[in-house]
Structure formats: structure tokens, C-alpha cells
Amino acid sequence: MNLTFKTLDDVDLVGKRVLIRVDMNCSVDPETKQITDISRIEAIQETLQELQRSKVVLMAHQGRPGSDDFISLEQHTEVLKNLGFNTSFVDDIFGQKAKEAISQVKDGEILVLQNVRYFEGELKKAPALEVAQESLVQELYPLFDIFVNDAFGAAHRSQASLVGFTTVLPSVAGRLVEKEIRTLTAATATEQHPWTLVLGGSKVEDKVKILSRLMSTDRVDHAVLGGLIGTLFLIAADMIPETYSKPIKGFESAIETARELLKEYPDVLVLPEDAAVEHDNTRHDCSFSEMNNDPFLDIGPATTTKYVKLITESAVVFANGPMGYFEKEAFAKGTSDILDAIADCKGITVVGGGHMGAMAKKMSLDDRITHISTGGGATINFLTGKKLDLVVALESAAKRMDG
């Protein structure tokens, strides 16, 4: 497959000052604030190894403002050290402190900047040339020779750190971006059916929008829903009361789209049929009429049976987002049963997103799943056929580099 952008093979990196944007957005324990899974950090190792004769400054985000996992990148720096990289951390992004630390970086060293989303301008989403005007880009780009983008998980975000630098620096993809694009292109090239999407987890506003785009491609035969996105659709279908919308951020803006999708694609959307709720700190499997306003934390056994059948009989399965509150062991059952079914499926299977990917690895299912993608939203966006913002930006950079 010919790539439309440049990679590490196309540039001389020795002795160069390299700014790299990665996605090492990890699962974080909401109570202890400790990282619970490091697979996204492990996934960037190949690129970092190839940069071992360069002066590397690493930029990344963790969580979103206001979320439980919106933490500093100090822990990530420690993980990189434990993986054998000569890494240090600076609690600044583009101020004087960061600039001084950047000027001290030597060949073979990696300096990790603070969580780039601590800078408000990073949250703006706009075309590359516009976000390139943000002070983050304007202050930092003169300090570097090359920009490497290896943040596949955030490839669908047109934000300053992801696409801004590509307008002002020679810019190439890292090995992870290259591998993900190659693998996902191959996995989506098939015309085989039934084609099943398994969609769970939170980030409901994003997911309902992307579901809408994906449905209009006619690719999907079954979209089986769980997690908070499943809860949203159950409320939209009047199958459970609106009181269950409480944990759903962005419920108001997502519910209308969910209702429209239910009207337009009643045979494609597959909703849970029963629930697992928490009562007296214990899991109770029950019908919707027996939920008694207890927290709805997982899909129930009848739902699991139905989903397992659809998944194992599919020719292609793409999965993103857990079926329930998997952080509590009793409510991880729906997600682990679904992952077992994905591993049993004889077709092409892709599991994406930090949480589900990590769980698949923990369950040692990796070699029975075609591809475990580091992308959640990025992977689902890829499926719609629309070019990812990161790819568009790297393509423009490649044209500029070729003069």
C-alpha cells in the first residue's frame, strides 16, 4: 500500500531537534489517580527507539478538562523511564521554563512537556492553518527541525498540537500511525458481510455523531450498543426512564440524534434487552422493569447471549468502548463475554479504544483478534471513509516538503 504522507523513512533524524506528538492518554483510576494501563505508552516505543540519535521533545494530552483522568504527565514520564528511555519531565508547555528545558535536551534524551490540554488554546478545533496561529505552535516551532506525529488515538482531532505544527515544520508520521493506517486500510477493504459494530463506553456526544455518519455509509449490518451509549438509546426508545441519563455527559444534545437514528435504522441498531444493576454493593441481573432506579452498570445475560450470537456469526467486527462499568469486577462481565465472542469470531476483528484494547490484552486474547487498535474515536472515524485530520495535515506537509 502506498502511503500518501511521509514517514520516518523519508527524513534524516540524526542529531535533529524533533518535536513528537503522541497519544499516551491512559486509563486512570478515578480514586487514586494512578494510571491503570500503559499499553498506549508501550505502543509508541518503536518510534522512540528510532529517534534515539535525536534530541526529542514529547507532547501529549491526558483526559479532558473536568474529567477524572485529567492529570499531569509525570507518571507517563516514569513509565517511559521504566521502559528504558532516557526521559525527563518539565511542568510547562511553551513558557520560559519549557523553552529552557528544551534547549538542554541532548541526543538520545527525551523531554516530556506537561499535558498539552492544560493550555486552553489546544481545545479549539479548527483547520490546520487557523490552529497554527495558537501561541503553542508559534512559540515552539522555531525550536525544532522536524515534527513527528504518532498520535493515532487523536488522529480525528484538528487541534493545534496535532495539525498546527504540520503547517510550519517538515512533518512525518511515526511508526504507530503508519502501522494503524496500513492495518485499518486492509481490514476495511473487505466487502464481506455481516458487518457488526460493537459500540459502548462514554463520550456519548462524539459517538452519536459518528454513528450517524457511519450509518449513512451503509457499511453496518448490526450496531450493538452498550455502556452509556446503550443507555442513551434505551432512554431514546422509552425503554428505561430518563433518570438514567444522570451519568451521561452531553445527554441533552445527543438524545435527539439518538431518536432520529432509531427511526431511520430500526433494524440495524441493536439495544440491550436486560440489565445488571448495583444494589447493596452487589450485581443483580434483572429486566428493565425491575431496575428500581439502581445504577445501571452492565448489560444483562439475555443481552449478552444475543450479542454473542451476532458477533460470532459476523464476517467483520469492529468494537469500541466497554459494555459497562468494567472498573468494578462484577460489572466487567458483559465486556469480557463480548471480547471472548470477538476472539471466537472467525472473521476480521478489530478492537479499538484504550479500555477495551487493554482488557483484551489482559484476557490474553490479542493473538485471536485481527488487530487491537490504539484508536477509539479515531478508528471509528476511519470507518466512515472520511480522511482523518491528522492524515490530511500530513499530506499537505508532504506536498510542501516536495516543493
Contacts to ligand 3PG by CB under 6 A = 23, 25, 64, 153-154, 157, 203, 354, 376-377
Residue 363 CA from chain centroid, whole number: 20
Provide the minimum distance between the beta carbon of 10 and ligand 3PG in the complex, in angstroms, as a whole number. Answer: 26
Q: Please, are residues 84 and 46 in contact by the beta-carbon 8 Å criterion?
A: no
- Specify the residue, 80 or 102, whose C-beta has the smaller distance to ligand 3PG: 80
Provide the minimum distance between the beta carbon of 320 and ligand 3PG in the complex, in angstroms, as a whole number. Answer: 9
Provide the minimum distance between the beta carbon of 21 and ligand 3PG in the complex, in angstroms, as a whole number. Answer: 11
Provide the minimum distance between the beta carbon of 386 and ligand 3PG in the complex, in angstroms, as a whole number. Answer: 16
Provide the minimum distance between the beta carbon of 32 and ligand 3PG in the complex, in angstroms, as a whole number. Answer: 20
355 to each of 46, 228, 361, how far by Cα in Å? 22, 14, 10
- Which region, left, alpha or beta, applies to residue 218 given φ > 0 means left and ψ of -120 to 50 means alpha? left
Give CA angle at 316 (311, 322), nearest 5°. 55
Query: Which one, of 398, 397, 391, lies nearest residue 180 by Cα?
Result: 391
Q: Please, are residues 165 and 21 in contact by the beta-carbon 8 Å criterion?
A: yes
Q: Please, are residues 377 and 156 in contact by the beta-carbon 8 Å criterion?
A: yes
Provide the minimum distance between the beta carbon of 306 and ligand 3PG in the complex, in angstroms, as a whole number. Answer: 27
- The number of helices, as runs of H, and strands, as runs of E, in the chain is 15, 15
Q: Which residues make Cβ contacts (< 8 Å) with residue 180, sequence separation at least 6? A: 152, 155, 373, 374, 375, 378, 379
The enclosing H or E element of 46 equals: helix 45-50
Provide the minimum distance between the beta carbon of 203 and ligand 3PG in the complex, in angstroms, as a whole number. Answer: 6
Q: Using CB positions, name the residue nearest to ligand 3PG.
A: 25
How far is residue 328's CA from residue 330's CA, in Å, rounded to a whole number?
A: 6
Phi, psi torsion values for 72, nearest 5 degrees: -65, 165
